[in-house]
A = this chain, B = another copy of it.
Amino acid sequence: MSQRKIILEKVDQAIGILREKDVDLWLTFVRETSQLNDPSMSLIVSPDLQMTWHSAFILTKRGERIAIVGRYDADNIKQTGAYKEVIGYDQSIRQPLVEVLKRLDPGCIAINYSESDPSSDGLTHGMWTQLFRLLEGTPYASRFISSESVIGALRGRKSKSEVDRVRAAVKETQTIFDEVTAFLRPGRKETDIRDFIHDRMVDRGLTTAWEMEFCPIVNTHPDSPIGHGAPGEFKAARGHTVHIDFGVSKDGFVSDLQHMWYLLDKGETLPPAEVQKGFDTVRAAIMAAAKELKPGALGWEVDKAARDVVVKAGFPEYQHATGHHVGRTAHDGATVLGPRWERYGESINGEIEVGNIFTLELGVEVPNRGYIGLEEDVLVTATGLDWLSKPQTELTCV
């Protein structure tokens, strides 16, 4: 299915969500998207098209699909096929926008901003104040609500073609992990491993799931910084773990996975007890989260299940969320499986829904051995979890 057809599918889905949530009208208001692109553009307009002038994309629960765009952008929007009415303007969007709103007279207008969900927060503050100015003398600005629940549902409930694409990206990533197993040996630097992964990726016509400098993250040493750092000069060595966090982008959708290796020391046939305990704890925590991850559960409940396992095992609490949506991007917005910390705002109070694809990810540090982190990608279905990745159940020993 082409990207264009996925857009048509998502616009239909959006109208269904507006009905379900009883939202009269959803307005996505953007400008100069080459500078700053509302993440919703790739959901309901196009992953490629960029708007120069102020543009309004309007969907209603009655099924209207209206775009108001600069004259030079009108043909491109018509060609998407997603908007039945495309209005081009020259000097100001004010008149066509007010006319359309008067004609539709919505009781509530969902606008593209959100405190908690970056993927639903495409409207800048300057555009917000402009919108009030454009609508002066009308009652419409007083009817604004946030469109976060609409966008969250639309982005989070993956269609079959979206799931297929994430699944394909996951499969490619795990094939590359298998190739890393064959490549890995003592003395390989983090940057060697990164270069190897990039070469395999380019061979397959793939790109990275997030900025290339930090994708993959590779940790080969207990002192290698954990988090968002670029691979460095540390070398893989016997008796240490190797941790890789990596994802690819394929046909507009991405994967986000972590895998663990251990380099057996001389005389070892199995990892030492403390390494095995670390791995088992991480694995048990991920399974605990997986058990909670079902329709109707809240984001923080899933997080808590995993976090409790790690803390009870005596490891320090990890300082990030247990999972996030994955789809068009590695951090695909909406509900986060995270703790109730201010940083996460309301995002952790969202409900898990059928069709959601989440990462499940966490890790522990084992002194003198290295970091142990796992991350799987899973699809929530009505009847249980569908593991898009083949979950890692044992340390890969080299």
Contact = CB atoms under 8 A, between A and B. Distances in A.
Contacts of A128: 125, 128
**Chain A interface SS verdict (over half):** loop
A214 to B, nearest CB: 8
Interface string A71-87: 11101100000000000
A339 B119 CA distance: 34
Given A48-B213, A123-B125, A90 B35 contact: no
A53 interface: yes
This protein's copies in its complex: 2
A75 B229 contact: yes
A228 to B, nearest CB: 5
B71 A35 contact: no
Interface stretch (A57-65, A327-335, A364-372, A383-391): A327-335
B126 A210 contact: no
Nearest to A69: B228
A114 interface: yes
A48 B211 contact: yes
Contact of A35 (B34, B39, B92, B211): B39
A345 interface: yes
A397 interface: no
Given A118-B32, A343-B92, A343-B93, A227 B71 contact: yes
A220 interface: no
B115 A121 contact: no
A72 B125 contact: no
Max count, chain B CB within 10 A of own CB: residue among A32, A117, A125, A213: A125
Nearest to A115: B126
Interface in A202-233: 210-211, 213-214, 225-230
A94 interface: yes
Contacts of A188: none
A91 B124 contact: no
A134 B343 CA distance: 11
Contact of A34 (B73, B211, B227, B230): B211
B319 A52 contact: no
A105 B359 CA distance: 42
A393 interface: no
A37 interface: yes
Given A31-B118, A115-B130, A72 B228 contact: yes
Contacts of A311: none
Interface of A: 31-32, 34-39, 48-50, 52-54, 70-73, 75-76, 90-94, 113-130, 133, 146, 210-211, 213-214, 225-230, 319-320, 329-331, 333, 341-343, 345
30 contacts: A32-B118, A34-B211, A34-B330, A35-B39, A35-B331, A36-B36, A36-B38, A36-B39, A36-B121, A50-B211, A70-B343, A73-B227, A75-B225, A76-B229, A91-B341, A91-B342, A92-B341, A92-B343, A93-B343, A115-B129, A116-B126, A121-B125, A121-B127, A123-B124, A123-B125, A123-B126, A124-B124, A124-B125, A125-B127, A125-B128
Given A76-B229, A90-B319, A115-B127, 8 more contacts: A36-B121, A48-B213, A90-B341, A116-B126, A121-B126, A124-B124, A125-B127, A128-B128
